[in-house]
């Protein structure tokens, strides 16, 4: 089983810069979050973040945090967009810490 630890060192400096910007954009576009059994479902403002940007964030996040499960749902005609993020036991607390760090930074 993959340990519940982030290895941000797998990203190059330019990838890290892009990842950091996408992370801020993603979490600032979150208009709500609902707990799930193993994490959260985030409702995202489709006017503030695109499905392509979320997909790029997922690609980076899979590399540094391979223990996460991801599901992106995009409704037709610019409708609701949700990202479900979960994983093994402890993933929800890990997400809480990451969310708090992003939303408290300037």
Listed by start position, the domains of the chain span 13-104
The pLDDT, as a whole number, for residue 4 is 85
Question: What does the pLDDT look like over 40-79, one tens digit per residue?
Answer: 999 999 999 999 999 999 999 999 999 999 999 999 887 7
* Residue with token string 């089983």: 1
Classify residue 66 by its DSSP letter. Answer: T
The pLDDT, as a whole number, for residue 98 is 76
Cβ contacts of 95-103, under 8 Å, gap ≥ 24? 95/39, 95/40, 99/27, 99/33, 102/23, 102/24, 102/27, 103/27, 103/28
Question: What does the pLDDT look like over 26-41, one tens digit per residue?
Answer: 989 999 999 999 999 9
- More confident site: 76 or 99: 76
| Tally of CB atoms within 10 A around 19 | 20
- More confident site: 52 or 98: 52
- Are residues 81 and 72 in contact, defined by beta-carbon separation less than 8 angstroms? yes
Q: Which two tokens stand for residue 48?
A: 């503030």
- The fold adopted by the segment(s) 13-104 is Gyrase A; domain 2 (3.30.1360)
**Exposure on the CB side of residue 89, measured as CA atoms within 13 A:** 1
The pLDDT, as a whole number, for residue 97 is 86
């Amino acid at each position: 089983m993959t340990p519940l630890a982030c290895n941000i060192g797998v990203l190059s400096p330019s990838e890290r810069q892009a990842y950091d910007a996408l992370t801020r954009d993603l979490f600032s576009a979150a208009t709500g979050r609902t707990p799930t059994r193993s994490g959260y479902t985030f409702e995202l403002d489709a006017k503030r973040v695109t499905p392509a940007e979320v997909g790029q964030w997922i690609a980076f996040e899979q590399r540094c945090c391979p223990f996460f499960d991801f599901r992106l749902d995009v409704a037709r005609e610019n409708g609701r967009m949700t990202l479900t993020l979960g994983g093994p036991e402890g993933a929800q607390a890990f997400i809480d810490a990451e969310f708090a760090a992003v939303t408290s930074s300037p």
